[in-house]
Structure 1
Amino acid sequence: MFERDMDYDTEGRRERVRFWLMIGLGAALTGIVGALVLLLSRANDNYDRSLGWQAHSLEVISQTRSLDAALARAEAALGRFAVGLQKEDGRVFQQQWGLSQQYLSLLRRNVRDNAEQAKLVDELTRELNQRGTQLGDAALSANYRQTVAAISKYNAAGHDAALIRIDRLLSRLILNERTILAERNRVASADRASLNQAILLFSLLGAAAAVVAIAATISLVRAESERRAARRETLYEADRAMQLETAVEERTAELEKANIALRSEMIEREAAEAQLRQAQKMEAVGQLTGGIAHDFNNMLAVVVGGLELAQRLVVTAPEKAQRHLSNAMDGANRAADLTRRLLAFARSEPARPEMVLIDDCITGFAELIERTIGDRIALTLDLNAKDLSCWIDRQQFENALLNLAVNARDAMEGHGSLTIRTLRDEEENTAGIAVQMIDTGCGMSAEVLERVFDPFYTTKPAGQGTGLGMSQVFAFCRQSDGEVQIDSTEGEGTSVAMLLPVAAPEQTSVPASAGDDEAPADASTDVLNILVVEDDQRVLAATVDAVEELGHRAVACANPLNAEALVEQRMSEGRGFDLVLSDVLMPQLTGPEMVAQLKRRWPQLPVLFVTGYAGDASEVAAFGDHDVLRKPFTLTALEQAIRRTGDARGEGQRLAS
């Protein structure tokens, strides 16, 4: 009995021990589980934060790439705007430049947490502000249709050292952010490893608890085993889901990097193509410059040689001297004509329109076209615009016909048929004349048609073409308020149509141009007091001699700043000036600016401008209603210009003080 009680006491003690052991073990397990849950939660938070920083770095790199792409598209649009003067290209430039500023703002906000990156963005902002001002000047020139200035400024911007600095800043931003991203990837990997360790410890703890529960009681072992098995399965599924999500994120990041690399390669390829086109243009400019220098040297050889021979023979053989002087004058006129053609191509030479009967003009010019294209090409005239006239520059029109004929000859390789057709165009209720040049040549592909009007673009071998012909045709049609259309099929031929507006009935023939050498009118001109303002001493002396040769009295003024004092002095003497004959482009003060000052004091003072260039430096509107005499001019042209200005004085009254 006693032994049984002892056994019961021992069993009771064992039960109590087991009970308290279970309590202690439960408390210990509870503490361990709590610690592991806290560790697991913290590891999960660290991993989420690391993923967020990774996404932040990728966003910074993407915004930098987008900024670079927007800048490239803006400059490409500006290049097209400078060459083609299309307003749509100007709007694309403004849109892309504005988009680049938006990306820059996003980039500045996203790098605020990194002092080094923020400093680079500040430097990039300053460079882009200066770059925007430089490109804005080119865009402004293109907006006012100042092609030479726009191309020149765009070319200067393309060679500016700021472009290299901008590229370096963008590259440093991306390189720094990639370094930061690599460090964040390392931290994310470490956080993911910590999270996996926490999960593993948690799993081991569950297994240990299961073993203890099995040792404690068989009934609890089954329930606990089932519960823990289900829990392990849940944790395993969660771990698999997390691993799958991580793999998806990594694959997405790889695809994003590949996409960014592909876009970068496309941008670099476009930039390389643009540089190649620019190099081709510069090569064409060199060829054009060499050709112009060769032509000018030939003309100057005629002028210099003729004048030198005339000097030697003027006394001993005046007839031969006269012949050499005529040859020198012819060479000088040819040089002046070449200069006018160059200015017309640059859109800096104002057109000298006149009433031209289109069919008669083509008929008279056909002989020169036939000699140009050769005997193996049959020329056919199909003229159906009889008695229809256009208000155009005749010389530029003939030059456009000749350029089209030469292109057609080259396309037919010297053998085929060429048709020049005119017909009345009534499309959209607008009276016009279509002048078509139709050949049976090789035709043009879609790629060639897209760029056919680009300056310096040519499909001819190197040294056989400058790519200026079609751009001159385009410039002539635009200057004449018309347009040009091309229809071409490879292997069948090409049809180029210049659509020109019919002259209005009220339009009359243009007044005799200040540069035309027409016979002087019978009416005599009174002796005038003329103030000649010219900064070039040789030109000033020649102009004064020419004015005096025409029987007028000339007063020379080599500095436009002294003109007002001379006029005031003459006014105080009671004589005054009947005319101010002034150059346009002069240092310190241009001709129009000087005249504006004189007009404020003497508004009735007649003015005649003399210039060899009327392009970007002085807008045509600055001349007002004053006549313009083009350099070089003859005595006849000068006499006609002085007579026209004298007739416009009104009432023939001399300006008095």
Structure 2
Amino acid sequence: MRDEAVVETGRWRSWLWLALAASGMAALIVALVLWLASANRARDAALDLQSTSSERIILAATFDATMARSEAALGRFVISGDRALGTLYSDNWNNSGVLLDRLEAAARDDATQQVRVADLRKAWKARGAELAETAIRTSYRQNSEALATYYRIRTSPALDRLNALTGAVIGHERAVLGRRTTAADARTGRSNTLTTIVSVIGIVLVAGAALLAFVGLRAAQRRRREEARSEELEEAVAERTAELSAANERLVDEMATREAAEARLRQAQKMDAVGQLTGGIAHDFNNMLAVVLGGVELAKRRIDDGKGDPGRYLDSAMEGANRAAALTKRLLAFARAEPLLPSATDADALIGGMSDLLDRTLGERIAVRHLARAGDWPIFADRHQLENALLNLAVNARDAMEGGGTLTVATAQVTVGSSEIAELAPGDYVRIAVSDTGTGIERAVLDRIFEPFFTTKETGKGTGLGLSQVFGYARQSSGTVTVDSVVGTGTTVSLYLPRHLGEAGAADADIADIVHWRPARPAKILVVEDDRRVLTATVDALHELGHVPVACLGPDDAAAQLRRHPDIDLLVSDVLMPGQTGPELAAALRTFRPDLKVVFVTGFTGDIASANAFGHDRVLRKPFTIGTLGVAIDATLSDVPTRVPTRALETRAAA
């Protein structure tokens, strides 16, 4: 009995030790499993961090590549003027902004990278502003300025800052990626070690060991896939960077070569055009001066000897001076030194008024027809510039009809839909079509006819400036020009000008109607002019009109004169003067005389010719007659709108 008790006790103790051993083994396995699970979570976290860094590198590299593609597209846009390339530049630059937003979102958990990305966005905006200036100039066909701007910003602080910050972001993430890869490898190694231990100890627990082995295998496979993907990404980024660098170098070389060739060509064309222009201008001015000097001399002789009527010789001299003034205005318009002065205009009435001018200009072999179909649709345009444009088109048509033919000027009411005519906004337009029965234009030439200095005429017969002026005028007037031509049949050039919803203005009064103008009331007028002869002439003219002028040679003494004569009603000031412009002088005087009324007189507005330079003050163009000066002064003093009839000068000179 005692032996059985001893055996039972020993068996119980064996089972107890076995249970304790099993419990210990189970506890060890559970501990190992928990440890393994913890190691796997740490490894997964490290791999996730590694993936985050890889994503940031991809975003930064793609951001850099997208900006490079955008700048390359802008360069091609500047060279070719192709708006499809301009759109490509805009799309790529917008995409780079989207990538920058994604990079900023991905870097939220890294304070250092957040600062870099914020600085990167500032540099990106600064670079975008530089590129936008070039794109806008190209869109408005200011190709020379756009090309110069593009070459100037090839290297800029914003670009250097942008490249430096992009490199810093990628470099930081690569360093972080290296550390995270090392940490992931270490955690993966520990995970594999624990898996082996659990596998050895868990031979009894085959299912558990197999499960742990499977988990370890999956972790290793995922790590290898991440490593392979990281290597592929590095190779792709390096390859794309090399391609972009090579493409950029080729583009820079091509642009430099083309710029040099175009510069030489433009210089040769400009010199030829300048020679032709100066010769023609000198000839015309000599003719006009001969009329002026001859008329003045003959009038002086008639006054001295008391025989005959000197008035007709003075009229002849005045006509010559008027023609010279009109030629000067045309030169200023060509140089774009004068802004457009649009008004509501009846296109058919304007064309009808040009009939005599067209007949004399084109000669007897050209028959001129006018098909008036604009109806009651007026246009808002600069009448003088429109006359110049139509005259240019008529002269080109005459040259295309060497043996004679028919020139047709037809107007029509046209409603343009969206994208119906390139770069023309939808709406109502008056179309003025100038058609000839000449030789027509070949397709290769047709694509270039609006380029400045391009001409197919032989040397001495054309400068290549007429059609470019027509195109520029149409675009300034919110319209456009189209050309249709059939070789051997003829050409039609169509001007599209926006319809004006008001009524067309009446034609300008003839100068003869206001030669003997008398003021509504005498006024005391401060006259500021830096040219002594012009000052004397203006003061004499005001005396002749019955006003009381106060002369001031230059702007320096104007404020003192105004304080000395507090009863001055009006300021008549030149625009461009040494030290201070007319608008600047008027603004200074109005600080203590806010009610001061102003009339500006100028022959060249230069750099200050803009929509807001003169505010609501009147501008009288030099040279002016006593009558036109009187009209402007009376209208200013009475605060009523007026149209000083200077156009009569220009229309007479055009003949």
TM-score interval, normalised by the smaller of the two chains: 0.5 to 0.7
Structure 1 counterpart SS, 2:432: strand
Is 1:339 paired with 2:339?
no
Q: Is the 8 A contact 2:539 2:549 kept in 1?
A: yes
Contact 1:79 1:154 in 2 (8 A): no
CA contact (8 A) 1:303 1:328 kept: no
Partner residue, 2:495: 498
**CA displacement, residues 413-470 of structure 1 (integer Å, 9 cap, x when unaligned):** x99x99866342253897743234689655599xx99x999x989999xxxx999988
Are 2:554 and 1:565 aligned?
no
2:175 and 2:490 mapped to 1: Cα distance?
Answer: 59
Q: Whole-Å Cα distance in 2 between the matches of residues 510 and 258 of structure 1?
A: 74
Structure 1 distance, partners of 2:341, 2:383, is 13
Cα contact 1:584–1:591 (8 A) shared by 2: yes
Write the distance in 2 (CA, Å) between the matches of 1:365 and 1:274: 51
Partner residue in 2 for 1:610: 601
Instruction: Tell me, yes or no, if structure 1 residue 626 matches structure 2 residue 626.
Output: no
In structure 2, C-alpha distance between the alignment counterparts of 1:381 and 1:9, rounded to whole Å: 140
Is the contact between residue 573 and residue 599 of structure 2 (CA under 8 Å) also seen in structure 1?
yes
- Residue 343 of structure 1 deviates from its aligned partner by 1.5
Percent of counterpart pairs with the same letter? 25
* 1:651–1:45 CA distance, 2 compared to 1 (3 A): closer
Shift of 1:566: 0.9
- The structure-2 alpha-carbon separation of the partners of 1:427 and 1:299, relative to structure 1 and needing over 3 Å to count, comes to closer
Q: Is the 8 A contact 2:332 2:604 kept in 1?
A: no
Tell me, in whole angstroms, the C-alpha distance in 1 between the residues paired with 2:455 and 2:55: 44
What is residue 396 of structure 1 aligned with on the other side? 385
Whether 1:582 aligns to 2:578 is: no
Maintained 8 Å contact 2:116/2:169: yes
Q: Distance in 2 between matches of 1:568 and 1:610?
A: 22
Q: Is 1:424 paired with 2:423?
A: no
Separation in structure 1 between the aligned mates of residue 538 and residue 493 of structure 2, nearest angstrom = 47
Q: How many residues align?
A: 569
Counterpart AA for 1:109: R
Structure 2 length-normalised TM: 0.61
Shift of 1:546: 3.6
| Alpha-carbon distance in structure 1 between the residues aligned to 2:129 and 2:587 | 30
In the alignment, the residues of structure 1 paired with residue 175 and residue 192 of structure 2 have an alpha-carbon distance, to the nearest angstrom, of: 26
Instruction: State the alpha-carbon separation in 1 of the partners of residues 484 and 236 from structure 2.
Output: 40
- Give the match for residue 180 of structure 1: 176
Q: Is the contact between residue 530 and residue 580 of structure 1 (CA under 8 Å) also seen in structure 2?
A: yes
Residues 127 and 15 (structure 1 numbering): CA distance in 2 closer, same or farther, change over 3 Å? same
The alignment status of 1:52 with 2:48, answered yes or no, reads yes
**Cα displacement (A) at 1:582:** 1.7
Which amino acid counterpart does residue 335 of structure 2 have in structure 1?
Answer: L
1:219-368 aligned at under 5 Å gives the runs 228=206, 230-246=207-223, 249=226, 337-343=330-336, 348-351=339-342, 355-357=346-348, 360=352
Partner Cα distance (2:491, 2:236) in 1: 42
Aligned residue runs from structure 1 range 19-168, under 5 A: 26=22, 29-30=25-26, 32-34=28-30, 36-64=32-60, 102=101, 106=105, 109-112=108-111, 114=112, 117=113, 120-121=116-117, 123-124=119-120, 127=123, 160-168=156-164
| Change beyond 3 A, Cα 1:231–1:382 | farther
TM-score, with structure 1 as normaliser: 0.61
Secondary structure in 2 matching 1:523:
coil
* Structure 1 stretches lacking a partner, 5+ long: 211-226, 320-325, 653-657
Q: What per-residue deviation string (whole Å, max 9, x for no partner) do you get for residues 622-652 of structure 1? A: 534433134xx33xx2534422223325589
Give 1:189 deviation, angstroms: 3.0
> Whole-Å Cα distance in 2 between the matches of residues 578 and 591 of structure 1?
17
Is 1:359–1:385's contact at 8 Å kept on the other side of the alignment? no
Quote the RMSD (CA, aligned, Å).
6.7
Structure 2 residue runs of 5 or longer lacking an equivalent are 299-318, 418-426, 457-461, 640-655
Describe the superposition over 1:115-145 as per-residue Cα deviations: whole angstroms up to 9, x where unpaired: xx46644654664676688789x69x99xx9
- Aligned-pair distance for 1:565? 1.8
Pair 456,583 (structure 1): closer, same or farther in 2 beyond 3 Å: same
State the partner residue of 1:433.
430
Q: CA deviation at 1:381?
A: 6.9
Q: Which has the higher contact order (CA 8 A, sep 6+)?
A: 2
Instruction: Classify 1:343/1:50 alpha carbon distance in 2 versus 1 (closer, same or farther; 3 Å).
Output: same
- 8 Å contact from structure 1 (residues 435, 498) kept in 2: yes
C-alpha separation in 2, matches of 1:64 and 1:625: 53
Q: CA 1:399/1:21 → structure 2, altered by over 3 Å: closer, same or farther?
A: farther
Counterpart of 1:54 in structure 2: which amino acid?
A: Q
1:194 partner letter: R
CA–CA distance in 2 between the matches of 1:478 and 1:500? 9
Q: CA deviation at 1:541?
A: 2.8
1:523 aligns with 2:516: yes
Deviations 1:336-376 (A, max 9, x none): 533322317xx9454577554365478778789989xxx9x
The letter of the residue matching 1:433 is V
1-structure distance, mates of 2:185, 2:384: 77
Higher mean displacement: 395-404 or 67-76: 67-76
Q: Is the 8 A contact 2:484 2:491 kept in 1?
A: yes
How many angstroms apart in 2 are the aligned matches of 1:409 and 1:17? 128
The 8 Å contact of residues 284 and 467 in structure 1, kept in 2 or not, is answered as no
How far 1:147 moved relative to its partner? 8.4
Equivalent position to 2:191, from 195, 206, 222:
195
Among 609, 622, 632, the alignment partner of 1:645 is: 632
